[in-house]
Structure 1
Amino acid sequence: MAPDTLNGTLAESFRRHADRTAFLRKIAGRYEPISYAQADQTVRRLASSLLDLGTQPGDRVAILSGNSPEWVYADLAALAIGASTVPIYPTLNPGQVRYILSDSESRVVFVSHRAQMEKVEQVRGELPRLENVVVFDPKDIPDSVLSLADLLEKRPGPGPEAVALRIRAVGPDDLASLIYTSGTTGEPKGVMLTHRAFSTNALTAATLFDIGPGDVALSFLPLSHVFERTAGYYAMLARGVTIAYAESVDTVPQNLLEILR
């Protein structure tokens, strides 16, 4: 696989730091760890499931969610098979969500929970290219959408060899993401960013921050923004850092104390 791709950069780090903690997420009042090996396995299984849904290189896969390990899984799984991701701020209204999904011609959208799913369902009739809605939280969802658990458990897809072939086929100048700007006039514009752009910036940031295994970062800025995605996500995982997710902006001080104990 090409070294100047996110696939190449992060796959090597996931192998090297397999036994280390990649993510800390709050469950039932305490932070629980997810290892790099566990995360890698989930990403590859999800990538295989996306292949089973018919996702092709160059397709757009949108993510409408707050920060979480699932956001990362969806992003990396899509990138692994040559698709490009379209991050959508969870604060946007249904009309704004419709515009981005339509303009990007997204075929799949991942959403965090029912409230975000309902935004998509309200405008789904206006989105002929959208084929699948996948919900991270499976509670109380209709049959018209899929859950992340369903994809991981019931749609195994073609398997690891097919995913590995796709990963190796992705090139540095392939589109990694289409990020919509919040312009002051008119509709948002989709900015095209390649694997090389993300990988180069992430590795530069990692060097400047002087980070490495044993460090812990708290993620609270939105992953839909390119800064958090590059410096707070790709750069961190490229160096074996543990990413903890804040419950909200308001809980950042408390969450910092919890992860530093």
Structure 2
Amino acid sequence: MATDSEDELAGTEQPFVAHLIELRDRLIKAMAAVAVAAGVLFLWPGPGALYDLLAAPLVAHLPHGATLIATSVISPFIVPLKILLMAAFLLALPVVLYQLWAFVAPGLYSHEKKLVLPLVVSSTVLFCIGVAFCYFFVFGQVFRFIQSFAPKSITAAPDIEAYLSFVLTMFIAFGLAFEVPIVVIVLARLGFVSIEKLKSFRAYFIVLAFVIAAVITPPDVVSQLALAIPMCLLYEAGIWAAQIFIRNTTAPGDAPAAADQ
């Protein structure tokens, strides 16, 4: 009896251990990619230059001669280092995602691979587009609006840690906002809502988008519109993409059910 038990454990334990070893190896490769990217960025352009690049939209709208300040002794070292690590992770993100995909792909059916891989790639691209949209367009408009209200008797000198916190919050907000099509596609593909229900929810989503924009962004009309309008447009794009995605990622036996949606 004990022998039979040991045989059963031998048959199930080995694959589990093998999966853990593979997971460890792929995590090491992903961390190595981030470390290499951090090393390259440290040599060029360097942590200080990366922060200058991040601060450029704000500095461009500060009064002549004004700069950011550091209120903590270690802030000039810690803050650029945080920027370096964040940039290194974004630079190594394709390698990290590939390691994730290589780990889960062998356990997926062909139609599931058609579902997962496009979502992983498109969600990453959309997040990066949201961050770029925030940096290149929204920041300039927001900082111009804020400085236009500053009294002449006040010299703006923002703290570098406070600015980093603001930037990260805005990046995450716009990055996630640009994931709206992915959320719509997943909800429709998994059968939680039908395409018709998504279309009927359109008016409510517009109101929801403006409420979210009012809560997340600074209290100015420019940034609120810059977040709410793309969310509404991306919701429409998500409905259109969901119909195409469902047709191309449905298993043969599920075809009738998907068609009913």
TM-score scaled to structure 2, two decimals? Answer: 0.23
**Hey, which of these two has a bigger chunk of helix by percent?**
2
Identify which of structures 1 and 2 has the higher relative contact order when contacts are C-alpha pairs closer than 8 Å and 6+ apart. 1
- Return the structure number with greater strand share: 1
TM-score norm. by structure 1 comes to: 0.23
| Bigger-Rg structure (1/2) | 2
